[in-house]
Structure 1
Amino acid sequence: MTGPVLADPFTVTDVAGRAVSFDKPVEHVILGEGRMIYALATIETDDPFAKVVAWRNDLWKNDADAYDAYAARFPEVKDLPMLGRLTDGTLQTETLVDLKPDAVLLPIGDKQAADEVGLEDMLNAVGVKLVYIDFREHILENTEPSLHILGQMFGNVERADQVAAYWDQQMARVTDVLETAQPEEPKVFMYRAAGYSDCCGTFGSDNFGLMVKLAGGHNIGSDFLPGYTGTINPEQVIASNPDVVVATGANWGHNEGISGFVNVGPGAAAVADDSRAALAKLMQAPAFTGTTAVADNNVHAIWHQFYTSPYQFVAVQRLAKWFHPDLFADLDPDATFREFSETFLPIPYAPGYWVSLDGKD
């Protein structure tokens, strides 16, 4: 008689450079950032929540429409415990232990806070693995490794390879063309979470700042910020005189007291006129009124959550068309995202991830 087939032990090297060993694929996981579901859903497409025992509340707060879409497809989502965050003190480390997970996934940005409270030692003491992934701080260095980490942990390495290969292929549709054409780079101001926070949040040389570079633009924030995100004053925006302004937006309706943001994201095509009006109002701020971008009506908004998901290739394609419309006339980022969603994601594709003041969305 043949006994059960046992999974082979394996070791992942997380994005913090830590080697973490497992006896078998995980069965009970805590998502230290709810928006990790964007990546996990590409690996565990049949039911990305099947092995999740709790998650941070940020998907619900920062992408209400995606939360609703996942909850409609997987009703158990509504019963998952929602956790706070280490970095702001709203998550008690004992809560993680009480949920009895096999592993806790944290974004690399939480590592300092985790180290300060001794989280790794605490979890090790009860046999829980701690793994860091990253789709935000170093997108070129960490997106594909993070996908591969998820593939190993959830026992679906081949699927992770497929997602990473698609990511590479779609990025190359922009970067290969730019490498050949070497066009002049427009000056671009990325207005981070426009309307959600005060002017003028933006991005340094990574995250959306790097996406601007990969799309053939010069990211103004990279001239001033040492990290991937930060704030510059309105006078610096005026002096830089961007040729293009791109605001990031989302459905932040679950955040109390927040208004004036540009609602772009899944399903937001239905409210495109309202989103365009919100974007136009934001451009009335002194930082923007005299800029070349506003004078030329070269002002756009794009889904903020591209900045913390493995879907950055879609944003790079959309940015490239705004920066170099003639060069990328045949590129259709909406079709790209639709194809990706139908191939790798369990929820229906719902357009609305960007909007432009000129109405040519």
Structure 2
Amino acid sequence: MRELAFALVLVQCIMSVALHADAAEYTLGIFGNANMDSIIDEQDVSYVRGIIDGTNPVTELADATCDGRIDEGDIEQIQRIINESENYLIIKTFTIYDKAKIIRVPMPVSKIVILNLASAEAIRCVNAEELVTGVGTSVVEGTNKEFFGELSSRPTVGKWSEPDVESIIRLRPDVVIADLRFPNTELLEDKLNSSGIVVVRMGFTYPDYFQSEMMTLGYMLNRKSEAEDLIDFVYRYVDLIEGRVASVPADERPRVYPIYSPSDFWKTGSNGSIVDMLCGLAGGRNIAHELKGGTGGMYPAVDPEWVIKEDPEIIFTWSSPGGYTVSNDTEMRNVWNSIVKSPELSQVSAVKNKRVYLLTTDVTSRPRWFVGLAYLAKWFYPENFKDLDPEEIHKEYLERYQNVRYQGVFVYPK
């Protein structure tokens, strides 16, 4: 029976990790985390002994070696992870549109290539810049060059969504950290398999998975304490916001219309998208939550008449102009004016009451997503969050975890 139960668990290895937004309750997606909590420690050794003895049920991550058996070999691997002497980690990464991927990462990791901006920012959060041997071109382009400083001096390996595989192979990294969706596996994993280079896909953007991803990165790069410190900092504010909005009845929460981009007022984000997650965490009701369409079914197009009928109380965009090197709010103010002067949107309550807000992707679609969350919570419930200062939170994050001084324009109006 134990073998049958374990076989069923192995089938689950292709399913998504069940993670939680609560800081105290998330599952670290590394095999060996037998008791399915947020750390690998002696409790996991005890739990596996219980499985072997028949007193504990088999869990999804109990097979630390992923060899199809629960035995002393798993206990040995867990002990090696605890002692930081393991020669591999088997991790489970989530994806947005596909089933979870099981990846075997050689340890220790001494050289990495990072393809996208979110990964570059995450690497700096755990003080692992010295391991980076190559970057995607977005890290060195435009305003990102100033923000990323030393990282932008690394050799480039092509666009984050269309990397130059030959350039990656020449750098001989142990691991490539790539975006969840792009490039597709045919353009990356399939071409790197024969070279022994492992691809790990991480988003560092989605609240539901952020803690597990950051902690997994900490284990991979031997930066566990740094990852824990960041998670504690982030969830100090996430938990505060969730705690205060939890008592607001669903029918009293503001109705919100998220706009995907200033260039398209009629594209939005629905269930599963980062904007929908942020809206919900901040205590809003996304009027597009149940809609389907667009990339992954999460970014539907809507009719202006539908928005007018739904009559949102708040409108915000999450990819407005602005950023670290922007010195004034002129562009954002122009976008704001274009929204409030739109013939269709001017008919809804959000515009009539001037509850229209803009954010950049810097604070919504990277490890700084919690800064965007803080702004949304304050805009949704100004009376409930008088003591919350999103700008100060952002400033501390940049100075403490990115080692850059605070500057730029990220929201409008403040």
What is the Cα deviation at residue 313 of structure 1?
1.6
Kept after mapping to 2: 8 A contact 1:12/1:149: no
Residue 245 of structure 1 aligns to a residue in which SS?
A: strand
What is the Cα deviation at residue 273 of structure 1?
4.0
Partner of 1:134: 203
What is the Cα deviation at residue 271 of structure 1?
0.8
Amino acid at match of 2:102: R
- CA distance in 1 between partners of 2:214 and 2:386 (Å): 31
Count of aligned pairs between the two proteins: 321
What is the Cα deviation at residue 161 of structure 1?
1.1
Partner of 1:11: 89
Report the aligned-residue RMSD.
2.5
> Is 1:216 equivalent to 2:296 in the alignment?
no
Match of 1:340 among 397, 401, 406: 397
What is the Cα deviation at residue 32 of structure 1?
2.5
- CA distance in 2 between partners of 1:210 and 1:299 (Å): 19
Larger Rg computed on CA atoms: 2
- CA distance in 2 between partners of 1:53 and 1:275 (Å): 36
Partner of 1:44: 127
Partner of 2:310: 240
- Is the alpha carbon distance of 1:306 and 1:231 closer, same or farther for their aligned partners in structure 2, counting shifts above 3 Å? farther
Amino acid at match of 1:34: L
Q: Deviations over 1:140-196 (max 9, x none)?
A: 33211111122122221111111112222210110001113447111111111213x
Residue 317 of structure 1 aligns to a residue in which SS?
A: helix
Kept after mapping to 1: 8 A contact 2:107/2:220: no
- CA distance in 1 between partners of 2:157 and 2:269 (Å): 29
- CA distance in 2 between partners of 1:151 and 1:6 (Å): 12
Residue 202 of structure 1 aligns to a residue in which SS?
A: coil
Kept after mapping to 2: 8 A contact 1:302/1:353: yes
- CA distance in 1 between partners of 2:102 and 2:335 (Å): 44
Partner of 1:120: 189
Amino acid at match of 1:81: T
TM superposition score normalised by structure 1: 0.80
- CA distance in 2 between partners of 1:207 and 1:274 (Å): 24
Q: Deviations over 1:275-313 (max 9, x none)?
A: 213321243233412111111111110122333312222
Match of 1:55 among 135, 145, 160: 135
> Is 1:154 equivalent to 2:232 in the alignment?
no
Q: Deviations over 1:39-62 (max 9, x none)?
A: 1110126xx2x322322233556x
TM superposition score normalised by structure 2: 0.71
> Is 1:187 equivalent to 2:290 in the alignment?
no
- CA distance in 1 between partners of 2:325 and 2:240 (Å): 26
Partner of 1:68: 146
- CA distance in 2 between partners of 1:274 and 1:6 (Å): 49
Match of 1:105 among 168, 177, 193: 177
- CA distance in 2 between partners of 1:162 and 1:272 (Å): 33
Match of 2:117 among 27, 34, 46: 34
Of structures 1 and 2, the one with the larger relative CO (CA 8 A, separation 6+) is: 1
Kept after mapping to 1: 8 A contact 2:112/2:177: yes
- CA distance in 2 between partners of 1:127 and 1:192 (Å): 39
Q: Deviations over 1:319-352 (max 9, x none)?
A: 0111111111111111112222232221112252
Match of 2:210 among 134, 143, 146: 143
Kept after mapping to 2: 8 A contact 1:29/1:52: yes
Residue 231 of structure 1 aligns to a residue in which SS?
A: coil
Kept after mapping to 2: 8 A contact 1:265/1:354: no
State, as a whole percentage, how many aligned pairs show the same letter.
19
- Is the alpha carbon distance of 1:310 and 1:34 closer, same or farther for their aligned partners in structure 2, counting shifts above 3 Å? closer
Kept after mapping to 1: 8 A contact 2:157/2:163: no
- CA distance in 2 between partners of 1:60 and 1:287 (Å): 40
Which aligned pairs between 1:231-270 and structure 2 lie closer than 5 A?
Answer: 231-249=301-319, 262-268=320-326, 270=327
Match of 2:155 among 80, 102, 111: 80
Residue 293 of structure 1 aligns to a residue in which SS?
A: helix
Kept after mapping to 1: 8 A contact 2:281/2:373: yes
Amino acid at match of 1:157: K
The more displaced of 92-101 and 210-219 is 92-101
- Is the alpha carbon distance of 1:219 and 1:274 closer, same or farther for their aligned partners in structure 2, counting shifts above 3 Å? same
> Is 1:22 equivalent to 2:106 in the alignment?
yes
